[in-house]
């Protein structure tokens, strides 16, 4: 009860509302261990069905030679760790076979990647080569990324839905440029698509956009079920193009739970609730249902964007094509900053994050509002109203502070110039703010 209201937490991409029927379904399955396939075979079947549907959604090849494989995870962080390990092990095996050094693997990404990529690089001793950003362009430049690829690059990671601005990176261009470099060098550097945020958006809103397994170099894709997969926190997915892209030595087989069971996860025991909830959402909503929800989120983002632009105080940083969110920066940060705006909005219950961009755009600071399924048009309009109140208060505070702090020279009839001392000025400011605070004090219970 003392925490913030999840519905007003506009910092998070994670789902905060599901239907009451699904809430009950989750509680009914909370005591089932997902990893015990022999004891809970239906849960295992539901996971396999989810993987199959996601693989089809991402246009995985269907044929005798290519069969997509995948697994449920605890969010996209674990999914990325597993995909990265597969790339690293496959690269090492090839280097060993060629009798070449295999101790310095690297991954090429943009500086806008989520922190889980930095975790993977540090935990599993892989160099992270980041393409720096620039003002006005806050995603990875495919041309610069390909320039950074060398014989030790295990993969290039593209982001479908940047955490910073929601923008989709150009995976198609990256695939084309990397194909040319592979042909020139004889390498076979692959692509992984981090579709944590955009994987359940692009297929429904931008079906013509080529970013998935339609591109030959895309070997694996991760997506967060607990973001726009519309399930509570704790579920993600990773899908590989075919079995050959997941080295067999990374898969463990156990039999002490009743039967031979393959497992490829970083953890072991976990609840079955989120897997079952994901299947519920797929069956309950279907393709049309998901598309309707994503279209509604996009429309609400447009309403919010128009309201923010109407204040004439902010520049919109996010793009129209991408994850439904609005990222915006102050046109003038001389009077107050986006951090002041963020802090002031908390008084109305809103959690709107303010942050600076990564290298080399650290001087740009923005606010970001994520539009989820439960963020309605009425909430968008209410947020704009509260934002205008905050801007008025900050403007008045700055004006009064400037008026009080400004020390003017005064000339007496005798021509002597007098100035207030610094101590006298500070005392006046302190008296003013004390008077302001005393006036706002209330008696009785708050």
Confidence of residue 397 (pLDDT cuts 50, 70, 90): confident
Model pTM score: 0.88
The tokens 């550097």 sit on which residue? 189
pLDDT value for 428 = 65
Of 322, 304, 321, nearest to 367 by C-alpha is 304
Instruction: Work out the angle between the directed axes of helices 273-310 and 41-57 (0-180°, nearest 10).
Output: 40
Model pLDDT for residues 58-87, shown as the tens digit of each residue? 999 987 777 899 999 999 999 999 999 999
Instruction: State the average pLDDT over residues 261-269.
Output: 80
Confidence of residue 403 (pLDDT cuts 50, 70, 90): low
pLDDT value for 409 = 46
Confidence of residue 219 (pLDDT cuts 50, 70, 90): very high
Confidence of residue 254 (pLDDT cuts 50, 70, 90): low
Q: Are 240 and 68 in contact (CB under 8 A)?
A: yes
Residues 6+ apart with CB under 8 A from 356: 362, 363, 364, 365, 366
Higher pLDDT among residues 359 and 308, named by residue? 308
Of 423, 382, 60, nearest to 245 by C-alpha is 60
Of 387, 378, 368, nearest to 11 by C-alpha is 368
Distance in angstroms (rounded) separating the CA atoms of residues 363 and 294:
32
pLDDT value for 444 = 43
| DSSP three-state, residue 314 | strand
- Alpha-carbon distances, residue 147 vs 108, 127, 182 (angstroms): 10, 16, 12
Q: Using the 8-state DSSP alphabet, how is residue 33 labeled?
A: B
């Amino acid at each position: 009860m003392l925490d913030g209201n999840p519905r007003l937490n506009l910092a998070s991409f994670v789902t905060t509302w599901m239907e009451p029927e699904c809430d009950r379904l989750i509680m009914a399955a909370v005591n089932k261990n997902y990893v015990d396939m022999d004891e809970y075979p239906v849960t295992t079947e539901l996971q396999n069905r989810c993987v199959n549907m996601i693989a089809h959604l991402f246009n995985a090849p269907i044929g005798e030679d290519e069969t997509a494989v995948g697994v449920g995870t605890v969010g996209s962080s674990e999914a990325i760790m597993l995909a990265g390990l597969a790339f690293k092990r496959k690269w090492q095996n090839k280097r060993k076979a060629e009798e070449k050094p295999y101790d310095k693997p690297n991954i090429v990404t943009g500086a806008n990647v989520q922190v889980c990529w930095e975790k993977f690089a540090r935990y599993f001793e892989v160099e992270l080569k980041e393409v720096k950003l620039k003002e006005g362009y806050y995603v990875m430049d495919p041309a610069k990324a390909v320039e950074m690829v060398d014989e030790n690059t295990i993969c290039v990671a593209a982001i479908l839905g940047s955490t910073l601005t929601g923008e989709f990176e150009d995976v198609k261009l990256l695939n084309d440029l990397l194909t040319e470099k592979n042909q020139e060098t004889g390498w076979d550097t692959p692509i992984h698509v981090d579709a944590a945020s955009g994987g359940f958006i692009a297929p429904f809103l931008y079906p013509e956009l080529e970013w998935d397994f339609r591109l030959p170099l895309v070997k694996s894709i991760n997506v967060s079920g607990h973001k726009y997969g519309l399930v509570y926190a704790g579920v993600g997915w990773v899908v590989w193009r075919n079995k050959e892209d997941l080295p067999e030595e990374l898969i463990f087989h156990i039999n002490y739970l009743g039967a031979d069971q393959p497992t490829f996860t970083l953890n072991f025991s976990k609840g079955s609730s989120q897997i079952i909830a994901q299947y519920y959402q797929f069956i309950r909503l279907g393709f049309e249902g998901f598309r309707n929800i994503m279209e509604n989120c996009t429309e609400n983002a447009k309403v919010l964007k128009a309201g923010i632009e109407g204040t004439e105080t902010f520049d919109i940083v996010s793009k129209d094509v991408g994850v439904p969110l609005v990222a915006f920066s102050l046109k003038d940060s001389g009077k107050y900053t986006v951090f002041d705006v963020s802090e002031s909005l908390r008084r109305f219950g809103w959690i709107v994050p303010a942050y600076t961009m990564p290298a080399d755009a650290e001087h740009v600071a923005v606010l970001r509002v994520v539009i989820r399924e439960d963020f309605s048009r009425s909430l968008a309009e209410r947020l704009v109203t509260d934002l205008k109140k905050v801007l008025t208060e900050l403007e008045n505070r700055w004006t009064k502070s400037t008026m009080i702090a400004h020390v003017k020279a005064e000339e007496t009839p005798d021509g002597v110039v007098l100035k207030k001392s610094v101590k006298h000025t500070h005392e006046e400011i302190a008296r003013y703010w004390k008077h302001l605070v005393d006036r706002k004090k209330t008696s009785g219970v708050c």
